Amino acid sequence: MDDKIKILIASVLKPADDVRSCYKIGQTLAQTNKYEVNIIGFESKKKVESENIFLHPLFKFKRNSFKRLKAPFIVLKKYFELKPQLIIVNTPELLWVMHIIKILFGTKIIYDIQENYNLNIKQNQIYSVISKSLALFYISINESLSKHLIDGFILAEDIYEKQLKFIHKKPCIKLLNKSLEEIKKGINSIKLTKYDSLKFIYSGTIGKEYGTLEAIQFCKKLYNINSKITLIIIGYSPNIQYLKLVKEAIRNVEYIQLKTDGKPIPQSEIIAEINNSDIALLPYQLNPNISGRFPTKIYDYLALGIPMVIPPHAQWKTYLDQYQAGICTEFNNPDIENFVQELSSTTFYTESPTDEIQWKSQEMLLIEFTRKIISK
């Protein structure tokens, strides 16, 4: 008789095989052999070949579609089918249905907070004034109620502990989005110069605050000095209008390649491109939503031994300096001559990254936290 405890991980904004939900949190819990992990997300064609993990790709709609309003009801229906003892929810619009489940059935619920959604919406240029106000009101109400009805919180960023008041006085842990990749052996003393055939990469979300256009302009200016450079942009864009600007900016530019799709790119494809690159661009626009966070991709770049170019952000620079893994530049108005000089004079990875950059360094914390929440 199978007596595994059922866990449901529920999301609207992520695919069922999302890296954090499936391969980090899900895999960590499934490998204990104590839990059966079921993951709800939007459509995914990939099958996870992992014992104790089952994917339920339920949604198929555009990010701003009205069909998205059906998602909480679909999750509720799936709840009745699976009857899990614990739900880990990571989308704020699902909180109201979690509150109902908690009140009616007493199911244990953990809120995995991956973004400061209020701050994210305030900074987002996609929303109209009316829709932004409604979204902020909706999220504020749900998150305020969660301090009474949610059993525990998981934070994906250090800064959320200070920013989010509703998490206080409840069980809470931080699980940063550290890398699943094994640390590359033999990372040591990488030298790059302006004369090299450098392969630059921009990976992850394509969008204004992530600086995709700035990465393109940076490489165009650098190309005037070194015509042997290339840039690959790989990722997903939730903003169709911005993606059009990106495509227009690289039209007829042979040394810049764009790999994107109407849904998130599988992590395996992104990692393959990173492994085929020499140096990564992280041209984040340091607005209040971005500046307090720590980019997930930094951990993957560190594990794979990829030098990085980041904006002037003191915390990120201090972290990279442990391994001499990156240099800073002002992407909005880059001094290309100065960048080339610093690039040529820097020896990257004079120290190899340690296990602290890896997800496995946090696994026991998650396992113990989950056990305590379930046994309360």
Whether residue 30 is contained in a domain is answered as yes
Q: Are residues 258 and 141 in the same domain?
A: no
Write the pLDDT tens digit of every residue in 154-210: 999 999 999 999 998 899 999 999 999 999 987 778 999 878 899 999 999 999 999
Pairing of strands 172-174, 108-113: unpaired
Whether residue 43 has pLDDT greater than 80: no
Q: Are residues 102 and 44 in the same domain?
A: yes
Q: Are residues 234 and 116 in the same domain?
A: no
Q: Are residues 33 and 166 in the same domain?
A: yes
Whether residue 93 is contained in a domain is answered as yes
Whether residue 220 is contained in a domain is answered as yes
Q: Are residues 324 and 270 in the same domain?
A: yes
What is the reported pLDDT for 1? 44
What is the reported pLDDT for 159? 95
Write the pLDDT tens digit of every residue in 125-149: 666 778 788 888 888 899 889 999 9
Pairing of strands 35-42, 5-15: parallel
In terms of pLDDT, which residue wins out, 275 or 93?
A: 275
Whether residue 367 has pLDDT greater than 60: yes
Whether residue 350 is contained in a domain is answered as yes
**Band of pLDDT at residue 249, cut at 50, 70 and 90:** very high
DSSP 37-52: EEEEEE--------TT
Q: Could you list the residue range(s) of the whole structural domain that residue 210 is in?
A: 190-357
Whether residue 45 is contained in a domain is answered as yes
Q: Is 192 within 8 Å of 226 (Cβ atoms)?
A: no
In terms of pLDDT, which residue wins out, 91 or 283?
A: 283
What is the reported pLDDT for 67? 65
Amino acid at 8: L
Q: Are residues 21 and 163 in the same domain?
A: yes
What is the reported pLDDT for 63? 58
In terms of pLDDT, which residue wins out, 15 or 6?
A: 6
Which of 65-74, 183-192, 336-345 is the most confident on average?
Answer: 336-345
Whether residue 21 has pLDDT greater than 70: yes
- Cα–Cα distance for residue pair 89/151, rounded to 1 Å: 11
What is the reported pLDDT for 129? 76
What sign does the dihedral 367-369-370-372 (CA atoms) show? Answer: positive
User: What's the mean pLDDT when you consider all of the chain?
Assistant: 92
Structure tokens at 246: 């990106």
By percentage, how much of the chain surpasses pLDDT 70?
A: 94
What is the reported pLDDT for 262? 81
Q: Are residues 163 and 221 in the same domain?
A: no
Q: Are residues 196 and 339 in the same domain?
A: yes
CATH of the domain at 260: 3.40.50.2000
How many domains does the structure of the chain reveal?
2
Whether residue 184 is contained in a domain is answered as no
What is the reported pLDDT for 126? 66
Write the pLDDT tens digit of every residue in 94-115: 999 999 999 999 999 999 999 9
How many residues belong to the chain? 376
Which of 59-73, 284-298, 307-321 shows the lowest per-residue confidence on average (mean pLDDT)? 59-73
Write the pLDDT tens digit of every residue in 263-311: 888 899 999 999 999 999 999 999 888 989 999 999 999 999 999 999 9
Q: Are residues 237 and 304 in the same domain?
A: yes
Which contiguous run of DSSP H or E holds residue 109? strand 108-113
What sign does the dihedral 67-73-75-81 (CA atoms) show? Answer: negative
DSSP 174-217: E----B-SPPPTT---EE--TTS--EEEEES--STTTTHHHHHH
Whether residue 183 is contained in a domain is answered as no
The long-range contacts involving 354-361, CB below 8 angstroms and separated by at least 24 positions, are 354/183, 355/183, 356/178, 357/178, 357/179, 357/183, 357/299, 357/302, 357/303, 358/178, 358/179, 358/180, 358/181, 358/183, 358/299, 358/303, 359/24, 359/28, 359/177, 359/178, 359/179, 359/180, 361/178
- Cα–Cα distance for residue pair 38/84, rounded to 1 Å: 9
Q: Are residues 80 and 116 in the same domain?
A: yes
Q: Are residues 121 and 215 in the same domain?
A: no
- Cα–Cα distance for residue pair 360/165, rounded to 1 Å: 29
Pairing of strands 86-89, 172-174: unpaired
- Cα–Cα distance for residue pair 6/212, rounded to 1 Å: 41
In terms of pLDDT, which residue wins out, 292 or 59?
A: 292
pTM for the model stands at: 0.93
By percentage, how much of the chain surpasses pLDDT 90?
A: 74
Q: Are residues 32 and 89 in the same domain?
A: yes
Whether residue 181 is contained in a domain is answered as no
